[in-house]
Amino acid sequence: MSFRIGHGYDIHRLVSGRPLVLGGVKFEVDYGLDGHSDADCLTHAICDALLGAAGLPDIGHFFPNTDPTFKNIDSQVLLKRVVASLGERGYKVINLDSSLIAEKPKIAPKLNAMKTVLASSLGIPVEAVGVKATTNEGVGDLGRGLAIAAHAVALIEQR
């Protein structure tokens, strides 16, 4: 058996007039993340962790923000494509862990929903998906609520 780990990081600016989607779950607030796709920074960080584990280029290489095909696309579609692409290369996802850094909104009530959606996209049990949330304690631009960031690590196995 051959195990490989990968790390991903992403950040998107908070703006008004955009839907807020994190981990494939919509938040009922009047602001959202700016970006070409649905700007789901958690799911993008997870995609990058998986691609990195397989030694592949990052999400921007596979889904460029200059391509109109990906305008406002549901990032779960991108994540499923990443998992399928790893599958074609003989890799299976074992588990992943992730952290959201968000001053607002409150993330905790949606954690389980996010895990369920991500587990489904990843094709792994919900127990194999970690999603945690913290604030930046008011420090810096993240602390002022100007953006939401996410870190993710993933373990994959070569069959």
Subset of residues 1 to 30 that bind Zn ion, contact rule: CB under 5 A: 10
Closest residue to Zn ion in the complex (CB): 44
What x/- string results for residues 122 through 151 when contact with Zn ion is judged by CB under 5 A?
------------------------------
CB 83 within 8 A of CB 93: yes
Q: Residue 11's closest CA among 126, 129, 142, 154? A: 142
Please report how close the Cβ of residue 11 comes to Zn ion at its closest, in angstroms.
8
Nearer to Zn ion, 44 or 115 (CB): 44
Nearer to Zn ion, 10 or 103 (CB): 10
Size of the site for Zn ion (CB under 5 A): 2
CB 8 within 8 A of CB 78: no
Subset of residues 27 to 46 that bind Zn ion, contact rule: CB under 5 A: 44
Total Cβ atoms within 10 A of residue 95:
15
Place of tokens 């489904």: 120
Cis peptide leading into residue 105 (ω within 30°): yes
Enumerate binding residues for Zn ion (CB under 5 A): 10, 44
